[in-house]
Structures are given as C-alpha cells and as structure tokens.
C-alpha cells in the first residue's frame, strides 16, 4: 500500500496533470489480470482502452519483443526495414489494395489521414480540403484531430481552431449530401463510435456514405483506431458493412501495448503522396513493427474474430439480467457499452475498481467494456458478476 501511495504522490508532484486518474497503480500483468502495488488482483475489462487485445505479457509477444530487442532497435526511415515491409504486406493482403504509412499513435494516424486527404483534394479535386466528421466522434488530441472530433469538451481553450472541418449528426444519412460542397475532400467517420458512447450506426448508413463518396468523388476515411484488430468481431470493423474505405487508420490493438499507428491508403489515394510530404522518426521502427507483425499473425491465424463474437454474445446474454436497471446495452464483439440510468459512469467504474474490476467510462453515462480477446470465460463471468452488482 505504501508503494502505491508513493507512486501516486510522485505522479501528482512531477507529472503534468492532464489526466484524471483512478487511485491505483499496476506493477504486473498476466492475460486478463493486473496486479496492483496495493497487493490486489484486478480483472481487466479495459485492456488499456482496447490496446492489449491479446492480453498482458502474451508469451508469444514476449518472445518476439525479446528477439528484436536483442537484434535491432532503431535505424530510421532513411533505410528499408524488413519487419515494416512484412507488416505492411500482411495488413494490405488482409484489408484492401493499397499501401501503408506507419506512425506511433492513433492521433498521429488520423492527423496523417487528414493530410493525405488534403493532398489528394489538392491534386485531384481542384484544391478541395474540407473534411466532414460526425458529432460525438473522437479522433485524437492534436490540433487537427481535436478539431475533427465532434465533442466540444476536447476543444475548449484551444481556439482558434484550424479551418476546414464540418460536423454533422452521426447515423443520419440525410445531412451528409447537404454538407458536401466543391471544397469537400473527404468524410471521416468511426465505423462504431467508441469514446462517444459505443454508438453503432445502421448498416445502410455506412453503405450509403460510401455510395455518396463515390458519387461525389470524395474520400471515405474510417477511423479504426479502436475498432480494428478483431475488436468488433471482424478483423476490421468496415467489414461489417461490405464496403472498403479509401483511407483507414489503425493503432491501439495493433501493437498490444507497443506504440504504433498505421494509415492504410487505397490505390485511389496512393499517387497523391510523394516522398517528403509526411514523415515520422520512430514510425514503423524495428521494435514496433516486429511486435505488431506477431500480433496480426496471431489474430489472423487463429481467426480471433470468431472468439470475439462468441464472448461478446456471452456478455450481452449475461447483461440481460440488468436490462431493467440501465437504459441500454449495445455493442459488437468485445466493444460493449452500457448506458446507465441512475448512476454516473465514473461512479460505477470506481465501485468496480474497489471490487477488483477495471471498466472504462465513456462520457457521463456510459460504461465501456473492452476485455482482452483472449480472456477466459470463467474470468469473464466473474468480472460480469462484479459489474452487475455495481450497477
């Protein structure tokens, strides 16, 4: 307990206070269990916010990390990097035809996607630069991505914001066409809004947005930072809608905790991007791409999206017991949102923490469940029992 207090005191004294943290610190993880400095075990329904999809300290990933750590750490993108090339190939062959740019985070991936869309608009649409995004969305904390984000709370204090972003209601196809003008280069959406409260659109909404993009000759950017890597029951969430985006962004689960982001760019966009227009010192370095290569290989070879669907359905079945105590339970795969009726999400998350369970608030009234895709069923049931009790 003293160690935990020391960590909290040191953090509050020396770390810039940009986060509202829960009062716990962790020193070890194994599978879906975290071990705190307070001596307690915690069931992890957070996964570092959809990051550790394959669990903490997955033995196969530990071996991959040890191997590359003893081989090569960094050389920069002045040179060719074998693991980067192999990872790009694996992503493209399991998504859509195009090429990949590697960076270090989801915000960087979305920032790069915005830049690439503007380059494409400048080259192929007479300088079109505007990007339509949705209310309730979350795309990152850089100046451009927080402007793209459809939540006022992340923008306060940073005005004046960059121009060129237009916000429309999510899951409302009627407003999309009205928002498009000759300066529109792209529409940028999350296939499922995560931080916005696990909002799942109608299947026809995403399909119609794609149709409109093709009809108007503008790009469809899908932010799969949270939904990618089998989290929603498909390798990538766009696969639920039988369409392909022009640009897709990835991060979080791609590295299972090793920082990495990726921008997958379709053939339609590739020619707009030339050497020198975008770069990242650490993007796609040997350590990050070697681990991510192993992550993706494990997910694909084991078709983990099937297990994601199975466990997601189990959660939805278990949570039927509390239907009368909540507004709604919604989700796909292992991205589940519980909209609360009488309690705040922070209140439920704090109560769960005290009982040994980690869950994620998403706004004031929604609790998000993001357990590892590899969690054992008995541990999942145990965690759900704690959650139901707290609600």
Identify the active-site residue in 116, 125, 130, 223.
223
Identify the active-site residue in 130, 252, 332, 365.
252
274 burial class (0-12, 13-18, 19+ CB within 10 angstroms)?
exposed
Cα 249 from Cα 108, distance rounded (Å): 9
The question of whether 138 is a catalytic residue gets the answer: yes
Radius of gyration over alpha carbons of the chain, in Å? 21
> Taking CA 150 as the corner, what is the angle to CA 148 and CA 152, rounded to the nearest 5 degrees?
110
The question of whether 223 is a catalytic residue gets the answer: yes
Q: Where are the beta strands (DSSP E) in the chain?
A: 26-30, 33-36, 41-44, 98-103, 130-134, 165-168, 184-189, 219-223, 247-250, 261-266, 326-332, 335-340, 357-358, 360-362, 366-369
Cα 19 from Cα 52, distance rounded (Å): 20
Contact 118, 185 (CB under 8 A): yes
Count other C-beta atoms under 10 Å from residue 207's C-beta.
15
Q: Where are the beta strands (DSSP E) in 1-45?
A: 26-30, 33-36, 41-44
Identify the active-site residue in 138, 165, 236, 241.
138
For the annotated catalytic residues, the residue numbers are 138, 223, 252
């Amino acid at each position: 307990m003293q160690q935990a207090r020391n960590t909290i005191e040191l953090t509050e004294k020396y770390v810039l206070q940009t986060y509202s943290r829960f009062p716990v610190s962790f020193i070890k993880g194994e599978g879906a269990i975290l071990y705190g400095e307070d001596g307690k075990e915690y069931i992890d329904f957070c996964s570092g916010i959809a990051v550790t999809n394959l669990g903490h300290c997955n033995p196969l990933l530990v071996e991959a990390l040890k191997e590359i750590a003893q081989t090569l750490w960094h050389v920069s993108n002045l040179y060719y990097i074998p693991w980067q090339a192999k990872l790009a190939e694996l992503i493209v062959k399991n998504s859509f035809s195009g090429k990949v740019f590697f960076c270090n985070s989801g915000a960087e991936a979305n920032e790069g996607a915005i830049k690439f869309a503007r380059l494409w608009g400048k080259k192929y649409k007479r300088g079109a630069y505007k990007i339509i995004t949705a209310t309730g969305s979350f795309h990152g904390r850089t100046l451009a991505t927080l402007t793209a984000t459809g939540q006022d709370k992340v923008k306060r204090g940073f005005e004046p914001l960059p121009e060129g972003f237009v916000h429309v209601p999510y899951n409302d196809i009627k407003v999309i066409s009205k928002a498009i003008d000759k300066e529109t280069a792209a529409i940028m959406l999350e296939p499922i809004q995560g931080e916005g409260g696990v909002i799942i659109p109608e299947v026809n909404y995403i399909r119609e947005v794609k149709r409109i993009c093709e009809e108007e000759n503008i790009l469809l950017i899908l932010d799969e930072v949270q939904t990618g890597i089998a989290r929603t029951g498909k390798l990538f969430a766009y696969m639920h809608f039988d369409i392909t985006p022009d640009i897709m962004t990835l991060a979080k689960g791609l590295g299972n905790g090793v920082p990495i982001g990726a921008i997958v760019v379709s053939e339609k966009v590739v020619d707009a991007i030339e050497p020198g227009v975008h770069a990242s010192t650490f993007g796609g370095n040997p350590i990050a791409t070697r681990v991510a290569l192993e992550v993706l290989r494990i997910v694909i070879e084991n078709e983990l999206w099937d297990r994601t669907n199975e466990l997601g359905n189990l959660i939805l079945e278990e949570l039927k017991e509390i239907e009368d105590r909540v507004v709604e339970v919604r989700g796909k795969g292992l991205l589940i949102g519980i909209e609360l009726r009488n309690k705040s999400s922070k209140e439920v998350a704090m109560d769960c923490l005290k009982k040994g369970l980690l869950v994620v608030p998403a706004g004031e009234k929604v609790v998000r469940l993001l357990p590892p895709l590899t969690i054992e069923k008995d541990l999942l049931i145990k965690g759900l029992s704690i959650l139901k009790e707290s609600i």
